């Protein structure tokens, strides 16, 4: 019953503004003022910006702090399988009953005023977090950061800059990497700490230029912390020393880089008592769905053969595609890799597919269920074929899996292109 009521509220929220995204801080600040400025009560906030790896970094930071006995609030966007995943308070995701109460309260205060969906739900997080006793508040930024609804705090304890690349070009004037870096880094809070993840050399130069006059203590990958892969895991190193760590509970070498940045963030915050053992234990139990996730059980397994592997990843931009390419190389050439692709309309489809071209055998394209802003499969099919890959379209995930398994009982079924696509597949499973 509560679930249906929540869905009705969410549908009403989508009608409060003609655009799904309208970059401005005026509306969120107006609503927060009407809610008695709950964001001013948020203590020990860690804000995470960037193009890729934000979610992995956020969940790793959470896992480390919780392993050390601290209570954490966490806000992420978007959710993968259900809306509740956006809100994590003091050790657990919000349940339907409390989510309904929260949405209803803020909807009443907003009183039908013009506001975007993202701005509204950010306000909800700040309100609930202000009422929830926690030691740390972790906030993943939405689109860019400068004019994102998460950028309303006056102070924090850390800003984390994850890998930056081109994405959401339709919200930029020229669609350049300079614009992206400016939007993500120019408004980071002063008198705090800024932890910069592993970046491409040219991007790092642009980041340094943007934060040059920021008064925060700056901590850079390679310069202040780094890692080295070993057979049994990796070795983390910073000014405090080395930690020999086991393989994390996240697939893909790029995740080691994301986890390293999370560790650097935690270790830079010396007001908390986090030991090496806390870190060692935490990285073996990181919870992260839809990121190089293997489907080993569930409803979808009945459509494939026992030897078929099903892999799901929410990658949706060129920077993420390069990381996927590295991972696909590790799978060897003994098995065919069939790419199952669903993407949103405003992505760099051709560039994304081109990057993966030499590491896959063929492509099946699909519409993303329940997403009006996804690119139609007919159009996506043309783009894939223009790259020179054998491709076809299907009507459903189930039919896709069934037909792939029929053609090749050993094939690896690799589903990617969007977090929304990954979430729909996981929900079907």
109 backbone dihedrals φ, ψ, rounded to 5°? -65, -40
Pair 327, 292: CB distance under 8 Å: yes
pTM of the model: 0.89
Residue among 37, 57, 62 at smallest CA distance from 126: 37
pLDDT value at residue 170: 63
* DSSP secondary structure letter of residue 380: H
pLDDT value at residue 164: 93
| pLDDT < 70 stretches in the chain | 167-171
Burial group, residue 169, by CB count within 10 angstroms (0-12, 13-18, 19+): middle
pLDDT value at residue 167: 67
- Please provide the DSSP assignment of 45-64 as one string: EEEEESSSSHHHHHHHHHHH
pLDDT value at residue 288: 78
Residue 40, SS3 per DSSP: helix
pLDDT value at residue 360: 95
Domains defined along the chain, listed by start = 2-282 (3.40.1190.10), 293-428 (3.90.190.20)
Strand-pair partners of 250: none
pLDDT value at residue 285: 92
pLDDT value at residue 292: 87
The span from the CA of 413 to the CA of 402, in Å, is: 11
């Amino acid at each position: 019953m509560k679930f249906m009521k929540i869905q009705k509220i969410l549908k009403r929220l989508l009608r409060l503004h003609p655009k799904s995204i309208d970059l401005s801080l005026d509306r969120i600040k107006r609503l927060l003022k009407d809610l008695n400025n709950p964001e001013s009560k948020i203590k020990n906030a860690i804000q995470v910006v960037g193009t890729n790896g934000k979610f992995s970094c956020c969940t790793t930071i959470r896992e480390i702090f919780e392993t050390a006995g601290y209570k954490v609030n966490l806000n992420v966007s978007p959710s993968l399988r259900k809306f509740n995943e956006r809100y994590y308070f003091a050790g657990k995701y919000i349940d339907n009953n409390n989510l309904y109460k929260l949405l209803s309260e803020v909807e009443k205060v907003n009183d039908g005023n013009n506001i975007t969906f993202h701005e509204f739900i950010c306000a909800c997080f700040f309100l609930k977090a202000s009422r929830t006793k926690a030691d740390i508040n972790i906030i993943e930024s939405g689109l860019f950061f400068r004019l994102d609804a998460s950028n309303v705090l006056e102070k924090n304890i850390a800003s984390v800059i994850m890998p930056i690349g081109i994405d959401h070009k339709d919200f930029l004037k020229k669609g350049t990497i300079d614009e992206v870096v400016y939007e993500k880094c120019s408004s980071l809070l002063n008198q705090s700490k800024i932890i910069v993840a592993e970046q491409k050399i040219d991007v790092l130069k642009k980041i340094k230029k943007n934060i040059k006059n920021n008064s925060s203590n700056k901590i850079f990958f390679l310069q202040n912390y780094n890692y080295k892969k070993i057979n049994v895991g990796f070795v983390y190193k910073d000014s405090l020393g080395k930690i020999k760590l086991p393989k994390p509970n996240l697939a893909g070498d790029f995740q080691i880089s994301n986890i390293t940045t999370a560790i650097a963030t935690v270790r830079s915050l010396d007001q908390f008592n986090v030991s090496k053992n806390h870190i060692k234990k935490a990285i073996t139990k990181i919870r992260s769905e839809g990121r190089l996730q293997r489907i080993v059980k569930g409803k979808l397994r009945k459509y494939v053969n026992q030897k078929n592997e099903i892999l799901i990843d929410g990658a949706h931009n060129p920077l993420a595609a390069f990381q996927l390419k590295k991972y696909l190389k590790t799978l060897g050439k003994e098995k065919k890799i069939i790419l199952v692709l669903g993407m949103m309309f405003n992505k760099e489809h051709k560039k994304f597919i081109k990057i993966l071209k030499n590491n896959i055998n063929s492509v099946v394209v699909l519409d993303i269920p329940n997403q009006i802003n996804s690119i139609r499969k007919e159009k996506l099919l043309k783009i894939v074929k223009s790259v020179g890959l054998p491709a076809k379209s299907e009507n459903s995930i189930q039919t896709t899996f069934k037909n792939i398994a029929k053609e090749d009982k050993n094939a690896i079924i690799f589903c990617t292109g969007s977090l929304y696509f990954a979430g729909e597949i996981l929900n079907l499973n």
